[in-house]
Structure 1
């Protein structure tokens, strides 16, 4: 047996026996080298192999730690539910221990600043880190153009209600769109208009006409991994949207909430093509956890002062502790490692979902969208199929999906019948079973009296 394997097996045995507890720091490389009378490179190789097996994890400038074992519990009947409805991140992928370390370190480093009022713009050191971090998404900006918000939702609320320099008032939405954005606009009585978006994209001629003749203050769009469609705009479409926005003095609010899950290195945001009329929004909730409540807004100079004023009046500042911990998380390299793990997990599930859709769909009028990355996709359904009945029947079989209706404005008539399928809360081994059941129920409805319910 090779030397590194002996060291590795010994540590693995101690973890299994409980001699090394979850979260416990392992001996330093120098200590292990002395203990096993081997070279430091042998210990490093052993620790690296254990990290690949997810038995230990490393923290830069700190050392190696044992991974916390999952607590074995009584079988839970809820685990048999196949949930395609939730867009929330998988709690099994949350970086609890890593982020706990970052929180503790943040308190040590910034204790004199974290528990007093900060600035509406955000923690200055985080702004500098984000300026560099955003370049990986082809977003090139300066720290003074970045505002930290309490999640992307706060940024949307501010942008929707504040005045814009173009003097216009109406918000244009893709239809369907993010349901909470729709609720936000309706709640505040903000003029809103819809434009159809399908798997193939958007009608750029219609968009130009609306920009030219309408009272459009801003166009809210999710170009990448659209919610709820799951699809993305082509490079040509993104360039055209940026050009039209500048030509007709309309601001584009680009919600790039799943940017970190992109696997195509050539896919750039609209901001990369036109920054003077684009507000770029980024979230860290899907790659870390929603409770972090840190959103990033990159704003054109013309909007900075007004946005800052409204931000200051809404909450004075966003959580400084969360900001400081995120800064350390990114700076330490933990973010990139975690991003890769989460991206790989979700990508594997989505590929499994695509294969299942191909395998079990033997119809001619039901069309699954081809989505290579992200968190979700959709199935276009025939008009005759009564979706509420289908969802009720699937729910009885413990297969959970949600109505797509909240993703449409109440006044918008050109609605596409569809099912949204999210993979964040469904185990990979459940996907085939769930998709098979969906198509089985559709077939049963077509051969029964509920086929044409309306």
Structure 2
């Protein structure tokens, strides 16, 4: 990354935290150059780029100022008569750091570059020029695949729907999922009346003995897993656990469907996906680009074993003919221009601040029974056990009055599997300056409402 880009990221981070408040003057070019030990030309380029993206503005003979966004004040808090709502339930990307201007530029460029293709149907696999870029990008996650193996989908959700519907070489039909697990996938399996079995997963990882017992039945089509940054647990599997999953899959002829939806937040260069640890043709790798950009982008990628490519392709055409060409073309330009890498660093920086605040809040409240057993080093979400005699509905209503939104983990379990009442907390849409305060309020309401045994 170029020096001015790194400086931009640092300045944007200080704006988001409110250190450089909106409407206020920024440090002079000379002061900033001294502050970051760089040339004045680097500062000028950073300021010029930030002005192009409407983050700051300049006044001749005065200097540079942070743009005052309508409806927001220092720390991105809404200027309303009511107190700010802290949403600990939403798992969508943080709207405050969406790359609106950059991606709007890419969409306009895509329309110009692909104007003839936009009026025709695309290809089953996806835009060939985008697939070439995705191949190189996936290699950065240690996912090395031939272009023929890469299929662009309308998000990971569509890829899962296809995999559930299509026949597999092992001729089986039962799906195994983690418990808790991805709630929309659980709903999909229920609606489609697909046989499904849950395997327990907790802070220590999967119950591998139970997993082997299930695989040994000889009826399992594939095992769906979120090895890193599991939702809602917020934990990742160890290398040993990943290797054991591979061993069991090979032994019992079970496919693995790996959902690496938050790969872009990984800070450990030694932490690789399951796909990287085997040459087996039984691992299917899924990744979303909507989670780091826009939920509405609806672009995901599936890396498929050779035996599944033709069948997957036929089922995909039946479901939606092709994935949005305009989204694919815009993403291609966004990635080719280097904007994606810059945005990914911005996202990681923002979410790292949130992670630190979340873990700080958990440590600060570890003397309370609900938070005492909650492990540290979470990502952007975690779960918190509730007192047995306190209903979730009661707590949710009380917190709503204090402008805090929370969710339970009930939807993350198969029918009949939800036995212990748990809070699911996600901080991706909570300003990092408000996380500790918000969790403190949650704790105080639990204490107020809890009826001692």
TM-score, length of structure 1 as denominator length: 0.83
Residue matched to 1:45: 42
Q: Name which of structure 1's ranges 357-366 and 192-201 shifts more when overlaid on structure 2.
A: 357-366
Contact 1:224-1:231 at 8 Å conserved across structures? yes
Q: Residue 287 of structure 1 is aligned with which of 287, 292, 310?
A: 292
Aligned length: 401
CA deviation string 1:155-206 (max 9, x = no partner): 1111111111101111111011111001000001001111111011111111
Distance 2:434 2:234 in 1: 20
Picking from 236, 244, 252, the partner of 2:248 is 244
Q: What per-residue deviation string (whole Å, max 9, x for no partner) do you get for residues 181-234 of structure 1?
A: 010000010011111110111111111111112411111111111111111111
Unaligned stretches of 5+ in structure 2?
5-37, 55-63, 72-77
Structure 1 residues 60-83: Cα deviation after superposition (integer angstroms, max 9, x where no partner): xxxxxx999453238335661111
* Residues 133-152 of structure 1: CA deviation (Å, up to 9, x unaligned): 00111100011001111111
Report deviation, 1:381: 3.8
Note the residue ranges of structure 1 that are not aligned, 5 or more in a row: 5-40, 59-65
> Following the alignment from structure 2 to structure 1, what is the Cα–Cα distance between the partners of residues 370 and 293?
38
Structure 2 matches for 1:102-251, cutoff 5 A? 102-251=106-255
- Cα distance in 1 for partners of 2:156, 2:217 equals 29
Aligned to 2:70: 72
Q: If you compute each CA radius of gyration, which structure gives the higher value, 1 or 2?
A: 1
Helix, strand or coil at the partner of 1:193: strand
Of residues 314, 318, 327 in structure 2, which corresponds to 1:313? 318
Please tell me whether the aligned partners of residues 262 and 374 of structure 1 are also in contact (alpha carbons under 8 angstroms): no
Q: CA 1:289–1:243 in 2, change beyond 3 Å: closer, same or farther?
A: same
RMSD: 2.4
Q: Which residue of 2 aligns with 1:442?
A: 446
Q: Is the 2:365–2:372 contact (alpha carbons within 8 Å) kept by the matching residues of 1?
A: no
The answer to whether 1:341 aligns with 2:346 is: yes
Q: Is the 8 A contact 1:388 1:403 kept in 2?
A: no
Superposition pairs for residues 356-371 of structure 1, below 5 Å?
356-364=361-369, 366-367=371-372, 369-370=374-375
| Separation in 2, partners of 1:232, 1:381 | 23
Other structure's SS at 1:131 match: helix
Query: How many Å separate the matches in 2 of 1:296 and 1:203?
Result: 29
Q: Residue by residue, what CA displacement relative to the aligned partner does 1:323-365 show, whole Å, maximum 9, x if unpaired?
A: 1111111111110110000111011011111101111232246
Q: TM-score, normalised by structure 2?
A: 0.83
Q: Is the 8 A contact 2:88 2:426 kept in 1?
A: yes
Q: 1:389 offset after TM fit, Å?
A: 2.2
Q: 1:17: which partner in 2?
A: none
Match for residue 380 of structure 1 among 371, 376, 385: 385
Shift of the 99–79 alpha-carbon distance from structure 1 to 2, 3 Å rule, reads farther
Q: State which of 104, 128, 146 in structure 2 corresponds to 1:100.
A: 104
Deviation string, structure 1 residues 402-431 (Cα, Å, up to 9, x no partner): 121111111326x44321111111111211
CA contact (8 A) 2:110 2:329 kept: yes
Question: Partners in 2 of 1:370 and 1:405 — Cα distance?
Answer: 20
Report the counterpart of residue 60 of structure 2 in structure 1: none
